[in-house]
Structure 1
């Protein structure tokens, strides 16, 4: 089975850390984009039901009710769906009764909310438009106007001038909400973002590497003691609430990517669409798929990806799945590397799985390099 990601690039405000394809919503050709997006999905003639669907951005929740219904109707009409996990990204303050009814009507059963922090000062410093109360009001609306209970919060740590006490206060407030899933991301300075530009000019004061590690370690201890297990490097969930769509990526499965900047993995090819909206629209208007880049994944590259992505999961890489996919035991390909990393305490073996140790997580990039076949 496959999955599908649908990208909506429109935002009411641009966050200072975000490098995803996005534009300010005002004066954008939203209706034309949604019509074109439907055309793109139709060209693939998807027959096999998608196991998971994910609408992200950008800020898909910034669409008005008419735009939202146009989007959701297109997705459900063009993409067969197994009835599995259907995630929709939302910003605090964007949902109302009408939007929530539409989301449920078209099968959305999981919401992912970009909260980032509950510290009002930090919210302004990172370019977010919502405030702390918006989060609580939105969760109240979800509970009042829908039956969706699978709600995840995104939080970012190691933000400019953030102390470990600030982060602890945010995570404690999040835990009190009783939600089943959290995604915790350390701030990364991505090119062509406000924060990257400030950092280059020496005007961005960030926590030290030691402070960042302390935040991560404290978060894991705090969440796992309260029933959220760390099933992937950045993700914690109650049992049964792990993100099935994201697990699809980490299991190195196939998926469609639609919309400006969308990327997919079909057969032995990865592809990426034009990110600028006008380039995306222009390609489709010519009757062409809006693909700007394709990469054929060789057997060795696919093996490497299977390891890199699998090791992000707490349970790690399945030796049986590796052998079934590549018709070769993992030991034949990586035997000496595995033995060396086991001896160094960076890798551990349990039943069918190879996974990172706590020390291995701290030096993940060093571990991944060892699995490159053409070093």
Structure 2
């Protein structure tokens, strides 16, 4: 069956391999061998072909290779990955192609292959510049690896680089975070994603937390850390455009804005989630099963969910309020054919009165106070209809 949605112009590709599993990570990632990675690429090649044939879509405006660690592939595998993309999909002029990476997993050959294949945005999972904290997180890289990988990326010609940062880490203080922020600002990345640690079920951190062996900073320190992060980036030429993301002018993540605006996107790779034509789909997580299914010429979709209009409206609010610009009345009307205030007058009025939402002629957005209680605000838009 062909699903028609000509507005689809974004693609997520999941590469599930890592050199090791970090203690906090609940993503779909595995430690594996080069021959398994080659077989995975066999399957991914076939799946990309099937995905491209299954939907009418526009030339791609954004592509995101996530993981896992896509740069765990060697130069030959990386080149193959990029060739597959271009074989099965047309790219729009000015397409944004992002690749996630970990410090220490890149070399010049690999970076040149990615650049030649059209990649114009790199995202390094730095997390911290504190070597002791990196060990506590189960990261394989150290501070020096960050600098080496950064220099190689610049040498290869990448001029749009994101660095991922985490705070609220075990043993972290406001002062140690300040040191990391200083080091990061000195590098001068074009974009930063800064997230508070979430202890996810099924991770070593969760087990240790349940046993009382993972001591996290007190809540008041974490609030102070978040404020420090916001103040530091704003005062150094970065625009905070989403509750965890900061960009220099012209360097917002276009792909991630597709998610936050509740727009459709294609997806491929084990465990990947796509959203097209009002239907969400999920691929097989298990890598051997994924390979067997895709090499056999079938799509690896194991679950689909039709997203009702009620759910779509909720998603538009919950995801859109992550953006500092919020959700405009015009966009809500255009997307859903109804007025936002006719649907969500209750929660909007409640949180406006509490000082957590701003409402003006343009739309609705979080206030500076609302940013700190964002999850509470989002929850108010669930099941309101």
TM class, shorter-length: over 0.9
Structure ranking higher on relative contact order (CA contacts 8 Å, 6+ apart): 2
Alignment of 1:38-187 (within 5 A): 38-44=45-51, 45=53, 47-82=57-92, 83-144=94-155, 146-187=156-197
Task: Pick one of 7, 17, 20 that aligns with 1:13.
Answer: 20
Further displaced range: 75-84 or 103-112:
75-84
Q: 1:227 aligns with which of 237, 240, 247?
A: 237
Rounded Cα–Cα distance in structure 2 between residues aligned with 1:280 and 1:352: 45
Query: How far apart are the structure 2 equivalents of 1:239 and 1:372?
Result: 34
- Indicate the RMSD between aligned Cα atoms, in angstroms: 1.4
CA distance in 2, matches of 1:10, 1:67: 13
Match of 1:214 among 224, 229, 238: 224
What is the distance in 2 between the residues matched to 1:371 and 1:206?
30
**Contact kept in structure 1, 2:46 and 2:295, CA below 8 Å:** no
Relative to structure 1, the CA distance from residue 338 to residue 289 in structure 2 (aligned partners, 3 Å threshold; closer, same or farther) is: same
Q: How far apart are the structure 2 equivalents of 1:317 and 1:324?
A: 12
- 1:47-101, CA deviations, whole angstroms, 9 ceiling, x for partnerless residues? 4211100001101111111111111111121122113211011111222121111
Residue in 1 that maps onto 2:3: none
What per-residue deviation string (whole Å, max 9, x for no partner) do you get for residues 155-213 of structure 1? Answer: 11111111111111101110011111100011111111111111111111111111111
Segments of 5+ residues of structure 2 without an aligned counterpart are 1-6
Q: Is the 8 A contact 2:344 2:384 kept in 1?
A: no
SS at match of 2:246: strand
TM-score between both structures, scaled by the size of structure 1: 0.97
Partner in structure 2 of residue 276 of structure 1:
286
Alpha-carbon distance in 1 for matches of 2:372, 2:40: 42
Instruction: Judge conservation of contact 1:109–1:148 (CA < 8 Å) in 2.
Output: yes
8 Å contact kept, 2:42–2:295: no
Return the offset for 1:372: 2.1
Q: Is the 8 Å Cα contact of residues 190 and 247 (structure 2) preserved in structure 1?
A: yes
Give, in angstroms, the shift of residue 147 of structure 1.
2.0
SS of 1:73's equivalent?
Answer: helix
Moved more, 279-288 or 156-165: 279-288
Looking at structure 2, the residues matched to 171 and 28 of structure 1 have their Cα atoms a distance apart, in angstroms, of 39
After superposition, where does 1:229-308 map in structure 2 within 5 Å?
A: 229-308=239-318
The 1-side partners of 2:376 and 2:149 are apart by 41
The answer on whether the counterparts of 1:12 and 1:26 sit within 8 Å (CA) in structure 2 is no
Aligned 1:319-358 pairs, distance under 5 A: 319-358=329-368
| Structure 1 residues 191 and 27: alpha-carbon distance in aligned structure 2, compared to 1, 3 A threshold | farther
1:23 aligned residue (24, 30, 52): 30
Secondary structure of 1:10's aligned partner: coil
**Alpha-carbon contact 2:271-2:284 (below 8 Å) kept:** yes
- C-alpha deviation, 1:285, in angstroms: 4.0
Output the CA distance in 2 between the equivalents of 1:121 and 1:54: 31
Stretch deviating more after TM superposition (21-30 or 229-238): 21-30
